[in-house]
Structure 1
């Protein structure tokens, strides 16, 4: 789950990690052929020449929060497909960690978007993961396998041990490939957005760019779609990355909010792009 500011939300709700989206539809592009020697690392499993950032100071994993503020009114809507590793029994009991209506709305409105998906979610909903991943309107990025925190004290989430952080990211990429996502992006969003220097160091070898945001939608556990839409419309600036969620159980008003956000931003002259386009505009292809 992603929030921009910490809120006094009961831990039992925070443990109900938000989740993702999608309805199966015919593939929009064929799966790319893979080399027999492909490894689990992002560099071997994503398309070449995808825009990424150069490593940060001391070679740490780079962090991206927004694109250029000038040169065009571009905005990226991102959706976190959250499901924690231990929520299988809840899914089996009927809790839905998906939101087909939201993905259908994005398709209807012709809005490009980046979906930060957990590996556990891709395992639970492989047809939906494949449908999203093969649709050129979207790009799939990494939100960890387990949706466990990469730091301590992160909204009550369980914590990944430091020596397992890279493996958790690579396990998510493996889950995407198994589900049939042909071209996952080398972008990673920390669960809860929580990270520190140690986490950035542990992920250096994974070859990912960490993607944060500069606009929080407030859709997590929200019941007022208009309030969510207003928060986004008031917060967006050129180059913004907006964090939203798609789940029927923990972010129930997101589809309605998006149906207000999209025409509202278009009236302001904004153009919707994927995160990759903002990264490319900011730093070129590396």
Structure 2
């Protein structure tokens, strides 16, 4: 917190009489006084920004922020694992991508990870590490990664009366893995939704998050082609969809190592989805 000069001076004068404050000059021996509480201690936590519900209370859908002169872009990564893929993971298939996460940390890129509950169960240590790292935010990608509409990339389908429970089950899996503050954002598996699906998950206070830039990293083998597709598609306020699964998106890390420095050279700043939603809702 940055305090006005006069207020800081007053605080320093008061602090000198109660306890040593390095910022106020020579330390003094502490006296038997109760330390003051931090200025923010009594403030309630700020709820993450969300969009207002749509017509008839339907879950709102966000794809990108306003195209302003502020060149912000959000990289998002789907941590996909369907409920029936446990045997494949046990046989050695990797649905995680530690190298990608390490690259994002090394490049100091904030990002939003849309995680399935089944992924959090399979990789609880990684889920907890991401959830407690302020550079990342965890959002909901369903528990099962089953589709919320028919005919969605061959995914099994969640019955309408089980859709809400599937979303809630993912949040439960996050908490069990040690993710303390998953965001109120939801990405439909496959990005497939309709009015029925929006109605089924309404009332949970969530914003459905789509994208306006498809990276094409799913099952891609050419990292340069993925990078080109992202760079050609990004505009101020863009949301880029990528994947955080080695087996299904093996080139993502290499593409990110190309995309990040180039977008920074172009003047872009990387942010989390929450910042873009805040801009769209007037919060930031």
Normalising by structure 2, report the TM-score.
Answer: 0.83
SS in 2 for 1:206: coil
Indicate whether 1:249 and 2:280 are aligned.
no
Distance (Å, rounded) in 1 between the aligned partners of 2:137 and 2:271? 10
The number of aligned residues is: 240
Q: Deviations over 1:198-250 (max 9, x none)?
A: 00001112221000000000000000000000000000000000000011111
Aligned-partner SS, 2:87:
helix
User: d(CA) in 2 for partners of 1:148 and 1:59?
Assistant: 24
- Residue among 67, 78, 81 paired with 1:80: 78
Does 2:237 match 1:239? yes
Structure 2 residue aligned with 1:176: 174
Give the match for residue 259 of structure 1: 257
Q: Which has the higher contact order (CA 8 A, sep 6+)?
A: 1
The structure 1 residue matched to 2:222, chosen from 224, 227, 240, is 224
Following the alignment from structure 1 to structure 2, what is the Cα–Cα distance between the partners of residues 236 and 71?
Answer: 14
Name the CA distance, whole Å, in 2 between partners of 1:176 and 1:224. Answer: 33
What secondary structure does 1:272 align onto?
Answer: strand
Match of 1:138 among 136, 142, 146: 136
2:213 aligned residue (215, 234, 254):
215
1:188 aligns with 2:186: yes
Alignment correspondent of 1:113: 111
1:156 aligns with 2:159: no
Structure 2 Cα separation of the partners of residues 212 and 65 of structure 1:
5
> Is 1:53 the counterpart of 2:62 in the alignment?
no
Q: Deviations over 1:35-85 (max 9, x none)?
A: xxxxxxxxxxxx642100000011100000001100400000000000000
Residue 104 of structure 1 pairs with residue 102 of structure 2: yes
Q: Which residue of 2 is the match for residue 201 of structure 1?
A: 199
Larger radius of gyration: 2
Alignment correspondent of 1:14: none
SS, match of residue 264 in structure 2: helix
SS at match of 1:241: strand
In structure 2, distance between residues paired with 1:123 and 1:48 = 28
Residue 284 of structure 1 and its aligned partner are, at CA, apart by 2.8
Counterpart CA distance in 2 for 1:205 and 1:283 is 18
Instruction: List 4+ stretches of structure 1 deviating above 4 A.
Output: none
Q: Distance in 2 between matches of 1:107 and 1:116?
A: 17
* 1:120 to partner: Cα distance: 0.1
- The 2-side partners of 1:282 and 1:193 are apart by 20
- Which runs of no fewer than 5 residues in structure 2 stay unpaired? 1-44
RMSD: 1.0
- Aligned equivalents of 2:224 and 2:138: distance in 1? 27
CA distance in 1, matches of 2:204, 2:123: 25
- Cα deviations by residue, 1:182-209 (Å, 9 ceiling, x for unpaired): 1100000000000000000011122210
TM-score (norm 1): 0.83
2:274: which partner in 1?
Answer: 276
